């Protein structure tokens, strides 16, 4: 049994009805670009982004590792040999290819248009948390992971990810009364191990492919500038 057994399809168990109700066009669009593949870690543990050529290990496989442990385990003989921490410039195209809107006003903001694509991407790479705090009686789902970026603040590690919840009821008056999703990049997180945080690990591609992916990611990042935050991913 792998690390992912309890959480890989936790979305389907805890959140299954809403996943099933996601717009078919959104799911079809994301799945036509993002393909689930098997790996030595188990069935459907890789998400292949056919637009960039990058292969991503499910974040559920790297939970409960500190950032320093991840760096050791991606070395020769390590658990994640052949993988490396991804940059935000590489993660952002993955999000875009999943159908997530990274346009102005979306970074660190819960917006309706990002609920469905975020939930669809979580079904591929894994859901890590279910108890994010968005106010009294309000919780959200989230996925967060260490990246290759420099720490934004002292004694932190760079963390990027996404969060989502259905606020139709509403659960919180502070957000749009609709299913909503949020993306965040470059946040400062605890560098220690946590069961609700993994790492954005990408298979190390051939040098020419790395250069192409890096150039594409840099161009995308220049177009879509986010802001850094020290907010925990489990908090609104």
Size of the chain in residues: 236
Domain boundary assignment for the chain = 3-223
Q: What percent of the chain has pLDDT over 90?
A: 72
Kindly tell me the burial class for residue 182, based on how many C-beta atoms sit within 10 Å of its own C-beta (0-12, 13-18, 19 or more). buried
DSSP 38-86: EETTEEEEEEEETTTTEEEE-GGGGTT--HHHHHHHTSTTSTTTTEEEP
Q: What is the pLDDT of residues 57-98, one digit of tens each?
A: 999 999 999 999 999 999 999 999 999 999 999 999 999 999
Q: How confident is the model at residue 153 (pLDDT cuts 50, 70, 90)?
A: very high
Going from the C-alpha of 44 to that of each of 51, 88, 119, 142, 170, the distances in angstroms are 18, 23, 17, 20, 34
pLDDT beyond 80 at 218 = no
pLDDT at 169: 93
Contact 87, 147 (CB under 8 A): yes
Q: What is the pLDDT of residues 3-49, one digit of tens each?
A: 333 333 333 333 333 444 445 554 555 557 999 999 999 999 999 99
Token pair for 19: 């996943």
C-alpha angle 163/98/207, rounded to 5°?
A: 110
Residue carrying the six token digits 């990274």: 102
pTM of whole model > 0.75?
yes
pLDDT at 69: 98
Kindly tell me the burial class for residue 25, based on how many C-beta atoms sit within 10 Å of its own C-beta (0-12, 13-18, 19 or more). exposed
Of 180, 227, 221, 236, the residue nearest 93 (C-alpha):
221
Which residues, other chains included, contact 206 with Cβ-Cβ below 8 Å and sequence gap of 6+? Answer: none
Token pair for 46: 């890789």
């Amino acid at each position: 049994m792998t690390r992912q057994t309890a959480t890989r399809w936790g979305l389907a168990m805890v959140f299954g009805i809403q996943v099933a109700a996601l717009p078919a066009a959104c799911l079809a669009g994301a799945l036509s670009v993002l393909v689930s593949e098997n790996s030595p870690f188990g069935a459907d543990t890789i998400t292949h982004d056919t637009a960039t050529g990058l292969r991503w290990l499910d974040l559920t496989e790297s939970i409960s590792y500190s950032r320093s442990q991840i760096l050791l385990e991606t070395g020769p003989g390590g658990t994640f040999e052949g993988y490396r921490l991804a940059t935000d410039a590489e993660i952002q195209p993955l999000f875009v290819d999943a159908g997530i809107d990274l346009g102005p006003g979306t970074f660190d903001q819960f917006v309706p248009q990002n609920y469905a694509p975020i939930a669809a991407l979580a079904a591929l790479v894994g859901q890590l948390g279910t108890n994010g705090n968005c106010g009294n009686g309000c919780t959200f789902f989230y996925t967060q992971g260490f990246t290759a970026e420099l720490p934004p603040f002292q004694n932190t590690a760079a963390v990027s990810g996404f969060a989502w919840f259905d606020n139709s009821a509403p659960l919180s008056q502070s957000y749009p009364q609709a299913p909503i999703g949020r993306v965040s990049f470059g946040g400062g997180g605890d560098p220690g191990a946590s069961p609700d945080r993994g790492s954005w690990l990408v298979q190390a591609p051939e040098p020419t492919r790395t250069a192409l992916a890096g150039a594409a990611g840099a161009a995308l990042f220049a177009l879509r500038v986010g802001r850094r935050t020290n907010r925990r991913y489990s908090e609104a």
